[in-house]
Structure 1
């Protein structure tokens, strides 16, 4: 009997409240750049982000992810996590998926700001050695916010305060300067990655990472939640099946930050 071929699988986790085209763009960039066979989307059951005033339940968020990723065969919805908050830790998620998919080479897709907190994650050393990290650049215009030190699956959290004069490490595969990335975002992301790599090097742990060659888009689930009612144009940030689901189930229907007429505070795409 021929041994099973090892497949390249990536985990993309988040609260997805709601999932939007920015998430999908990052996933497609990772799929192509790392030559992945499959991306497993893991919806965090427990919303730990202090900005999240939404009361959208896990089942709704999970269904929206399912609808958004359905057209892509390489995308897979991860299993629902148990209700125990401890089960939401990234290392526990990875161990569960490893048991389900034993013949796998593992990657973790993550935003640069969430990646900056990796040294503080629960059992981070084990997780770092198990995965290669695919880091998505974040828009330099993202507002700074303070967050808890440990947020296992969140994608939208603030970056570390970068220190100057530190030694630099190279990413595993480097970056592609020919791709039209936002230069400021790329530099910021590179600095974050170098800093995280140095933090683990002091623990004698080798961090494997590469920056995704994806555009930084002015999208955030926070804006979608806040302005779904009063700014119809923003609804184009989510795939059509998700738009229909949100309208059908009356999600995000209470405007929390109404915009004045002709406001320009929502960035145009």
Structure 2
């Protein structure tokens, strides 16, 4: 049985916190791979000045390129529209019935997991893995395996603001992602 981690999100932009979280879960749970799955249109957050789905996909692909056990999962981008984890994981488990899926979420998502669309049915499809994040409680009544990881107080929101303010982002995001953002002029980058 193949063990596959799924890390969904906006990745707007992807940063070292995402990479560290995925890498820690990969090794602690001895997963075969972790797939990064950017949302097409996230149900929880969207702003008109954000990077497009294709730009977020491209940035994430650049961010994970150096780790052969990190892969891209294009399902939600290909489907388009608003992404709900239940619908996505139902489709993925149907296509790969011989795989165990581990849905990786940060502490902020753990706190609101009980509000997710069809959460009880989703719990039948995947194992939830949580990684603590600063500013969250990381508590839920739902079954979730917690994996310890180095705590980095960094968010995509903060990075977008740093680009808008022309402040330094060195070591906070992969260099190739920073270069892409500057070339595309995303987030007001100069």
Q: TM-score normalised to the size of structure 2?
A: 0.90
Residue deviations 1:216-266, cap 9 Å, x none? 1121000111121434322431101101111111111169xxxxxxxxxxx
Distance 2:29 2:188 in 1: 38
SS where residue 219 of structure 1 aligns?
Answer: coil
**How big is the shift at 1:130?**
2.0
Unaligned runs of 5+ in 2: none
Distance 1:93 1:20, change over 3 A: same
Higher RCO (CA 8 Å, separation ≥ 6 residues): 2
Distance 2:66 2:52 in 1: 24
| Residue of 2, 19, 41 corresponding to 1:46 | 41
Unaligned runs of 5+ in 1: 1-5, 141-158, 160-187, 198-206, 256-269
Contact 2:181 2:189 in 1 (8 A): no
Higher helix proportion (structure 1 or 2): 2
Larger Rg: 1
**How big is the shift at 1:120?**
1.8
**How big is the shift at 1:51?**
7.4
SS where residue 9 of structure 1 aligns?
Answer: strand
Contact 1:54 1:225 in 2 (8 A): no
Contact 1:40 1:76 in 2 (8 A): yes
Distance 1:248 1:254, change over 3 A: closer
Higher strand proportion (structure 1 or 2): 2
Cross-structure match for 1:218: 153
Contact 2:160 2:187 in 1 (8 A): yes
Cross-structure match for 2:4: 9
Moved over 6 A (4+): none
SS where residue 215 of structure 1 aligns?
Answer: coil
> Number of paired residues?
188
Contact 2:8 2:36 in 1 (8 A): yes
Residue deviations 1:14-42, cap 9 Å, x none? 00100000000000010011110011111
